[in-house]
Structure 1
Amino acid sequence: MSIKEGFLVELERETNNTRRILDRLKDEDLSFRPHEKSMSLGSLAGHIVDLHNWISDALTKNDFNLATDFKPLKPTQVSELKAALDEGYKRNEKTIDTFPEEEWFTNWTMRVDNYVVAEMPKLAALRFVINNHLIHHRGQLTVYLRLLDIPVPGMYGPSADEKK
């Protein structure tokens, strides 16, 4: 299996996992905030969708500047989150499918203006900066669902809400 084939499997599964959560949300849930220091549910869900979409937006550059190359999604409706995830999936799939194998090992820099946040090969950026990061935040989002008494979908097997 090539690198791209492995990432295409992961892309499909993780996108479907995020979609299962978005399918349970309602527009009125987006303003929920479990604590004053916490992001709103809408901001957190937007960040997760943004992270999914960094696959095509960030990896096609060697230098990704958050100050100029990124505009955060600020959803006001769940339908915006779903549309952005679906549109991004198509771009991500095409990006990974056509990504040259040797390009995975080229250096990638994430910065905010002149401040370097991270430097690593693109292979590591996809796993560490993007996928692991979005999975972490998606776990946070499932806690929001639990606090709102919204049944939590299983991600890697049935959840407590899905067990009979």
Structure 2
Amino acid sequence: MFASVKAFIEDYRHESQSTQKLLDALTDESLAQAVGTGYRTIGMLAWHLVHNDAGMLQRTGLRFDAPAAGAEPPQSAAAIARAYRETTASLLGAAAAWSDDKLLETNDIYGQSWSNGLTLYLFIKHEIHHRGQLTVLMRQAGLPVAGMYGPSKQEWEAMGVPAPTR
């Protein structure tokens, strides 16, 4: 749970930059990649990171620009990456206007009473969860994966170091 708006902004700025790296690596051709029949494609998962996360935060009263929840994903990877960049910038700007006291207020989130500080915390965890799914699909599609908390296999190899296998 976040106790200060500044802590949320610093954490989300870092996490959203990691997500942006992945979205920027997507190609139009990769958007149809799915783990299997009946599962989200890269395009659907990437679009979920743009708009659905916004729905969670809008229940707190935080108002920022984001695509509508029912909006169809663009057929362009660049358009998805751009929409994420714009949504994130708007979200960070709106959060900066909150006071730390606003983090203590509670709202009904999915039938539970969550403080705004908890909602912001779980919002980031939700994004990290889906980012992990996205990296698996990106590997299946043959796309390079950027390291999040350390180098990826490709980044180790670019440094001339064998990637750890254990």
Tell me the TM-score normalized by structure 1.
0.82
Q: Per-residue displacement from partner, 1:101-134 (whole Å, max 9, x unpaired)?
A: 11111112134xxxx3x32111111112x11111
Aligned residues of 1:53 and 1:89 also touching (Cα < 8 A): no
| Separation in 2, partners of 1:72, 1:18 | 20
Aligned-residue sequence identity (percent) comes to 25
State the match for 2:14 in structure 1. Answer: 13
Q: How does 1:17-36 map to 2 (within 5 A)?
A: 17-36=18-37
CA distance in 2 between partners of 1:75 and 1:109 (Å): 31
Cα deviation for residue 71 of structure 1 reads 3.1
Identify unmatched segments of 5+ residues in structure 2. Answer: 63-67, 161-166
CA contact (8 A) 2:146 2:152 kept: yes
- What residue is the counterpart of 1:125 in the other structure? 119
Quick check: 2:59–2:108 contact (8 Å CA) kept in 1?
no
Q: Which amino acid aligns with 1:109?
A: D
Q: Distance in 1 between matches of 2:25 and 2:85?
A: 16
* Kept in 2: contact 1:34–1:144 (CA 8 A): yes
Counterpart of 1:64 in structure 2 is none
Q: TM-score, normalised by structure 2?
A: 0.81
- Residue equivalent to 2:150: 157
Residues matched between the structures, number: 151
In structure 2, the residue matched to 1:100 is 99
Match of 2:40 in 1: 39
1:149 deviates by 1.7
Q: Which runs of 5+ in 1 are unaligned?
A: 62-68
SS for the counterpart of 2:155 is: coil
Letter of the 1:29 partner, please give it: S
Higher relative contact order (CA 8 A, sep 6+): 2
Contact 1:52 1:85 in 2 (8 A): no
Structure 1 pair 25/70, CA: closer, same or farther in 2 (3 Å)?
A: closer
CA RMSD of aligned residues (A): 2.2
Inter-partner Cα distance in structure 1 for 2:6 and 2:153: 32
Distance change in 2, residues 1:73/1:131 (3 Å): farther
Q: Deviations over 1:82-117 (max 9, x none)?
A: 221121122111111111211111112134xxxx3x
Relative to total residues, which structure has the larger strand share, 1 or 2? Answer: 1
Deviation for aligned residue 1:28: 1.2
Tell me the CA shift for residue 4 of structure 1: 1.2
| Alignment partners' CA distance in 2, 1:151 and 1:104 | 37
Residues 86, 127 of structure 1: CA spacing in aligned structure 2 closer, same or farther, 3 A cutoff?
same
SS at match of 1:120: strand
